[in-house]
Structure 1
Amino acid sequence: MSAPAGRRRRIVLWRHGQTSWNIENRFQGTTDVELTDTGRAQARRAARLLAKLSPHAILASDLLRTRDTAAELAALTGLDVEHDEALRETYAGVWQGLTHTEIQARYGEEYAAWKRGEPVRRGGGELETEVADRAAPRVVRAADELPPGGLLVVVSHGGTIRTTIGRLLGLPASSWEALGGLSNCCWSVLGEGVRGWRLLEHNAGSLPEPVIGDDV
């Protein structure tokens, strides 16, 4: 039997703030790039909004850009942040550090196949399904530890968030591209429904801004 509406758990999947590689349109993947001053300001602003939701737990990727983003919310809520490498961005091998224009020029067919939704090891790295295999179960385990009606904030990366949402919604991997990307420091919200997790909000948190990053 499902929980009453007011007792259902929610998951906020929050993307990190802006980095210099976002601005340069460079594929970051697992490269540890820090936030810009703008990114830190974005994190502080978003944290003020998310703190009002009274989260019960914060789970974050262990990369610097997500650690620093999560720290802003932890400072306001007094919650500890649990970091896990399972929430890192997709490892993209030789693509990492290249701009999207450079990737298209050097690996055009591979890039096009990825955008068509085909299973591709971008740059010799991970498949999107492999990212979901490591990230989604970690998010579910954390959500299972919430009290009834509890809220979990997950601080991660655009591609990882998209694949996690796709997996938790039960969508086929070929359709995950239909989920639009997240702007820096914006978030999506999943809520428990009668038949499983439901997408309640997507790319929320600010006036519309361009989506810049690996998941463009």
Structure 2
Amino acid sequence: MNGSKSGRGRRVILWRHGQTAWNLERRFQGTTDIDLTDAGLTQARRSARLLASLKPAAIIASDLRRAALTAGELASVTGLDVSYDAGLRETYAGAWQGLTHEEIIERYGEQYAAWKRGEPVRRGGGELETEVADRAAPVVLRHAEKLPDNGTLVVVSHGGTIRTTIGRLLGLEAHHWEGLGGLSNCCWSVLGEGARGWRLTEHNAGTLPEPVLGDDV
């Protein structure tokens, strides 16, 4: 699942959507279609101005409103169209969706603990993390393949989906994906194309990526 040997220097920016009311309530959203808060729209506008300066060649996004609205802010300042794909939606988590963090632990404590240990768990009867990567990573790769040399793709998605996609593109075993940590609202991670495939060059960033200067390039 690594980048091809052609088209060196491509870059993929995986951008999490802005704040929602359920984020503030620590409520598991999953595939529930929740709007951005006013603060979330403000976050998206600020981040869009930063990301626009990187001159992206393409924007793709989850079709859930919180991601689509975030992507729309970048589209408005770049003039690019957004390609929407349901494959970039957040993890479907069945009965967990709509519950707060505390309610999940109270009602599904054993399942939650197993997930945190890195075991394959269908949270709430939903998708495995590997299944999320199975649907999301090919979408990202398909669009990355279309980039010109040194081109940048912005992927607007969700915290869980971004983490599983990064893990898959880096070739990490699923057990280790949790080690990547989460993304804050409207922050992003950057994958750069290297000699042996994709490399993680920024994670949970909210400022412009800078070149790595030094021996480890």
The TM-score by the shorter chain falls in which range?
A: over 0.9
In the alignment, which residue of structure 1 is the partner of 2:62?
61
In the alignment, which residue of structure 2 is the partner of 1:107?
108
Q: How does 1:186-197 map to 2 (within 5 A)?
A: 186-197=187-198
1:24 pairs with 2:25: yes
Q: How does 1:136-147 map to 2 (within 5 A)?
A: 136-147=137-148
In the alignment, which residue of structure 2 is the partner of 1:213?
none
Structure 2 unaligned spans of 5+: 208-217
Alpha-carbon distance between aligned partners in 2 of 1:67 and 1:2, rounded to the nearest angstrom: 31
Q: How does 1:63-212 map to 2 (within 5 A)?
A: 63-205=64-206
Question: Following TM superposition, by how much is the alpha carbon of 1:78 offset from its aligned partner in structure 2, in angstroms?
Answer: 0.2
Alpha-carbon distance between aligned partners in 2 of 1:2 and 1:164, rounded to the nearest angstrom: 20
Structure 1 vs Structure 2: percent identity of aligned residues?
75
In the alignment, which residue of structure 2 is the partner of 1:211?
none
Alpha-carbon distance between aligned partners in 2 of 1:194 and 1:131, rounded to the nearest angstrom: 27
Question: Following TM superposition, by how much is the alpha carbon of 1:165 offset from its aligned partner in structure 2, in angstroms?
Answer: 0.1
Question: Following TM superposition, by how much is the alpha carbon of 1:104 offset from its aligned partner in structure 2, in angstroms?
Answer: 0.3
Q: Secondary structure at the match of 1:50?
A: helix
Corresponding residue pairs, total:
204
Counterpart amino acid of residue 150 in structure 1: G
Question: Following TM superposition, by how much is the alpha carbon of 1:2 offset from its aligned partner in structure 2, in angstroms?
Answer: 4.4
Alpha-carbon distance between aligned partners in 1 of 2:96 and 2:181, rounded to the nearest angstrom: 21
Counterpart amino acid of residue 74 in structure 2: L
Alpha-carbon distance between aligned partners in 2 of 1:191 and 1:181, rounded to the nearest angstrom: 19
Question: Following TM superposition, by how much is the alpha carbon of 1:3 offset from its aligned partner in structure 2, in angstroms?
Answer: 6.0
Q: How does 1:38-57 map to 2 (within 5 A)?
A: 38-57=39-58
Residues 32-55 of structure 1: per-residue CA shift (max 9 Å, x gap): 000000000000000000000000
Structure 1 unaligned spans of 5+: 207-216
In the alignment, which residue of structure 2 is the partner of 1:212?
none
In the alignment, which residue of structure 1 is the partner of 2:15?
14
In the alignment, which residue of structure 2 is the partner of 1:33?
34
Alpha-carbon distance between aligned partners in 1 of 2:145 and 2:116, rounded to the nearest angstrom: 33
TM-score for the superposition, normalised by structure 2: 0.92
Contact 1:21 1:27 in 2 (8 A): yes
Residues 126-175 of structure 1: per-residue CA shift (max 9 Å, x gap): 00000000000110000000001100000000000000000000000000
Runs of 4+ in 1 over 6 A off after TM superposition: none
Counterpart amino acid of residue 66 in structure 1: A
Contact 1:2 1:193 in 2 (8 A): no
Aligned-residue RMSD, C-alpha:
1.1
Question: Following TM superposition, by how much is the alpha carbon of 1:25 offset from its aligned partner in structure 2, in angstroms?
Answer: 0.2
Counterpart amino acid of residue 136 in structure 1: A
